[in-house]
Amino acid sequence: MAPKAKMIYFPFHGLGEPLRFMMAYTNVEWEEEIISVEDFPAKKPSYPFGKLPVLEMDGLRMHQSAAILRYLARKAGGTLYGQNEFEALQCDIAYDTITDLRVMMLGYFYEPNKASADEKRKEVLENLAPMYLRNLEKLVNENGGYFVGGQLTWVDIAYGSLIDYLSHMAGKELVADKPALKALRDRVFALPAIKKYVETRVKYPY
């Protein structure tokens, strides 16, 4: 039996959750090492490029969450990374677009200066995020309720794991008026392996 993977991350769902959803879905057993915000500075130099999440698996110490998601998808095989190279590219494009939106939101969420945070938040939520959400909604509508090729890929799973976190950063349900994105989130949460994981996971505020 393969040794358990080890997930090292903060006490948040955050950027750890896509990895957890993918491991749950692809039957990878893992244990958690939770690093408190207080302990992190002393440990930071021991992590690759000083960042989390880190996943120890298959004898490797992996970092960069999107690269790890792609590894898990390829490893699981089937059509989880699309049915061909073109669909794999579309998976990458969709996920990188979601990342662009997430990173824009981080810009105000972690901004310590309140006035500057408020200004950035307004710009992102009123002017930038709506275009992203509108086009992501269109993409899911054009692909039969998924991001790519009319069937489940790793991007759907990663999106499902992140959307509540993005809504938390927005202070409102981001996909409330986006029926296709909302249904996709719910479809991911209804996958038996994900449902089981979510029922037993430690609940963090975001």
Ligand X SMILES: N[C@@H](CCC(=O)N[C@@H](CS)C(=O)NCC(=O)O)C(=O)O
Q: Any alpha helices (H) in 26-153, and if so which ranges?
A: 40-43, 65-76, 85-109, 114-122, 129-142
Helix (H) or strand (E) holding 54: strand 54-57
Tell me the one-letter amino acid at 198: V
Cis bond before residue 53 (omega within 30° of 0): yes
- C-alpha span between 144 and 52 (Å, rounded): 34
Q: Using CB under 6 A, pick the residue from 4, 43, 51, 195 that binds ligand X.
A: 51
Least Å distance, CB 183 to ligand X, is 26
Nearer to ligand X, 11 or 145 (CB): 11
- Shortest Cβ distance from residue 49 to ligand X (Å)? 8
Touching ligand X, residues 13-32 (CB under 6 A): 14-15
Q: Does 54 bind ligand X (CB under 6 A)?
A: no
Q: Which is nearer to ligand X, 41 or 77 (CB)?
A: 41
CB 89, min distance to ligand X, A: 19
Least distance to ligand X from the beta carbon of 61, Å?
Answer: 13
Q: Closest CB to ligand X among 53 and 82?
A: 53
Part of the chain binding ligand X (CB under 6 A), chosen from 48-56, 76-84, 180-188, 196-204: 48-56
Is the CB of residue 205 less than 8 Å from the CB of residue 167?
no
In the bound state with ligand X, the residue whose beta carbon lies nearer, of 4 and 51, is 51
6 burial via Cβ count (<10 Å: 0-12, 13-18, 19+): middle
Please tell me the count of residues contacting ligand X according to CB under 6 A. 11
Letters for 59-78 (x = contact with ligand X by CB under 6 A, - = none) are ----xxxx------------
Q: What is residue 35's three-state secondary structure? A: coil
Q: Which amino acid is at 92?
A: D
Q: How far is C-alpha 179 from the geometric centre of its chain's CA atoms?
A: 20
> Among the candidate windows 51-59, 111-119, 134-142, 143-151, which touches ligand X by CB under 6 A?
51-59
Nearer to ligand X, 65 or 143 (CB): 65
Identify whether the C-beta of residue 97 lies closer than 8 Å to the C-beta of residue 48.
no
Q: Residue 4 is encoded by which pair of tokens?
A: 């358990």
Residue ranges binding ligand X (CB under 6 A): 14-15, 44, 50-53, 63-66
